[in-house]
Structure 1
Amino acid sequence: MSRLRAWAELLRLPALFSVPGDALAGAAAVSARPDRGTLLAVGCSLCLYEAGMALNDWADRAEDAVERPHRPLPSGRIRPPAALAAACVLTGAGLALAARAGRPALAVAVPLAATVWSYDLVLKRTAAGPGAMAAARGLDLLLGAAATAGRVRPALRPAALLGSHTLAVTAVSRQETRDGSPLAPLAALTATAVLTRLLPGRTAGVLTTALALTYATTTARPYLHAALNPSPPLTQRAVAAGIGATIPLQAALSARAGATGTALGTVALTALARRFSRRVSVT
């Protein structure tokens, strides 16, 4: 059980519930019902997401030994070669699933995998880090569109909205382990307000509006607290809230496209994410 918990911590399992909504929102954006291709895209997304988590800790093992000695690698509960091997296997599995979904899906999955690896190994510590993470989320939504309908153009706008949210959360996460500046959480708070305004569009339905407000209220208070006191504990709570808010954002994007059932199914993942996050941290 202790070894399973170590892997759950390494892979940040509660964050997995924020992944399926990407592909589902992508399918909704191209006005297609989820099908076999969508499911393959979800599987690919889950694999690549977890590959990124394992690779992240492998790349940060020296830094974590100082700042996060309780993490699975520095604490010795998981060996670094095992984490790297897991990242490789999961990446291969994700690309294989994308290939099963067809050439359009694979054409999106390859740059998505490249973005994940580039972020963890090179870009994370540079100014391009948040942009790379935003690109990965946007590509993940496009993957769902490509796998379901073979086209991505109608999904570009929702991909940009989802990427903007991810950009804001990632910028805040860069100061999780030290006292930082209030600018990042303030910028994230502003981005949330703008996205909340843009989500309903001109012909907002009740469900879309409700999900947009849910998205806003999930992050508003944690971002504000982190801005008033940018300490590691409050910043980590803000990041966790930002990750959790991805789910109602995905649901709002699906509802905006008219996919009510997809939206309701996506937002239902919030309860599971909260339940598992009480046992394993998402940050």
Structure 2
Amino acid sequence: MTGGRLAAWAQLLRVSAVSTVPGDALVGAASAGRPPGRGTALAAGASLCLYEAGMALNDWADREEDARERPERPLPAGRIRPAAALTAATALTAAGLALAARTGRLPLATATALAGTVWAYDLRLKHTAAGPAAMAAARTLDVLLGAAATPAPAVPPARSERALRPLGAAAAMGAHTLAVTAVSRRETEGGSPAVPLAALGAVGTIAGLLARQRTPLTVAASATYAATATRPLAHAVLNPSPPLLQRAVGGGIRAMLPLQAALTARASEKGAARDQGSGAAGSVSALALLGLLPVARRLSRKVSPT
């Protein structure tokens, strides 16, 4: 494959945003009360495949719209054939489900629901009022996939806590995704400042709730999350033009990394008293996610995440 074709596929698959995907599995594992293991790695692999399937399918479904609004994209520019993008989306979906199946029935069921949500969003829901909620549901399911693929702790928490902790972490990722997706719907045309303002409020609320866990790593990750998302959103509030809305969306996507780090650290610090190994592994995971942020920034300068 030539350099030009590689660049086209990198643009189609939004490789600059890929780093935000494996963290969902780490959040799920930490919220389930266990250090990441084989199941977590398989869940992360499944998530990556399904995410990239969604990127390819998105451009296949929007190829006529992109020919009008973004003719530089690989499909309308003729650098990738539509049939190749659809084939990639199908193959990546199958690969994601196969990886999830290796971890058990519950992860496979969760991955199947996630795949269905991705395809429904790209083919039907994206341009409807349900679009942002569908995208938020996909991120929520992605975190739950990581939790489902993680074996139960040796000393499990109470049943209510075992159910609520993954749901709470997944809901936080879903709420952030909902806010960013709502902003993205106007990124090619511009719009009202009300939408980025609402997203700014959502980011502040999530960061504030996380910072209540007054431990150094959680507070640092929460502050990094807020800083990464807030500045471009504030600019979009002042001037909701397409370039600034696109920057706000890009910042919101990158902010998923410190948000995942904060959620992982928070869950690990809560579970450390029960399982010291889980707490240490969660801290390492959180630091690794924070370390990916500058990498994501550099990649976004070469390949747009939107």
1:108 touches 1:143 (CA, 8 Å); kept in 2?
yes
Q: What amino acid is the match of 1:278?
A: R
Which digits, 9 at most, give the CA deviation of each residue in 1:214-234, with x for residues without a partner?
000111111011111111000
How many residues are treated as equivalent by the alignment? 282
Distance 1:113 1:152 in 2: 23
Other-structure match for 2:245:
235
Q: 1:245 is matched by which residue type in structure 2? A: A
Q: Which residue of 2 aligns with 1:273?
A: 296
Matches within 5 A, 1:14-163: 14-149=16-151, 153-163=164-174
Shift of 1:159: 0.4
Residue 207 of structure 1 aligns to which amino acid in structure 2?
A: L
Between the aligned partners of 1:88 and 1:112, the Cα distance in structure 2 is: 14
Correspondence 1:110-259 to 2 at 5 A: 110-149=112-151, 153-201=164-212, 203-258=213-268, 259=282
- Scaled by the length of structure 1, what TM-score is found? 0.98
1 CA distance for matches of 2:210 and 2:85?
Answer: 38
Percent same amino acid at aligned positions? 64
Larger Rg: 2
Conserved? CA contact 1:42–1:144, under 8 Å: yes
| RMSD (CA atoms) | 1.0
Deviations 1:109-142 (A, max 9, x none): 0000000000000000011000000000010000
Query: Which 4+ runs in 1 deviate beyond 6 A?
Result: none
Amino acid at match of 1:241: G
Q: Can you list the C-alpha shifts for 1:10-54, whole angstroms capped at 9, x where unaligned?
A: 000010000011000000001101000000000000000000000
Within-5 A mapping of 1:7-18: 7-18=9-20
Structure 1 gaps, min length 5: none
CA drift of 1:101 comes to 1.2
More divergent stretch after superposition (188-197 vs 148-157): 148-157
Partner Cα distance (1:220, 1:91) in 2: 33
Task: Summarize deviations over 1:90-116 as a string: whole Å, max 9, x none.
Answer: 000000000011112101100000000
Give the AA of the match of 1:172.
V
Q: Secondary structure at the match of 1:281?
A: coil
**SS class of match (1:23):** helix
1:153 deviation in Å? 4.6
What is the rounded CA distance, in whole Å, between the counterparts of 1:157 and 1:149 in structure 2? 19
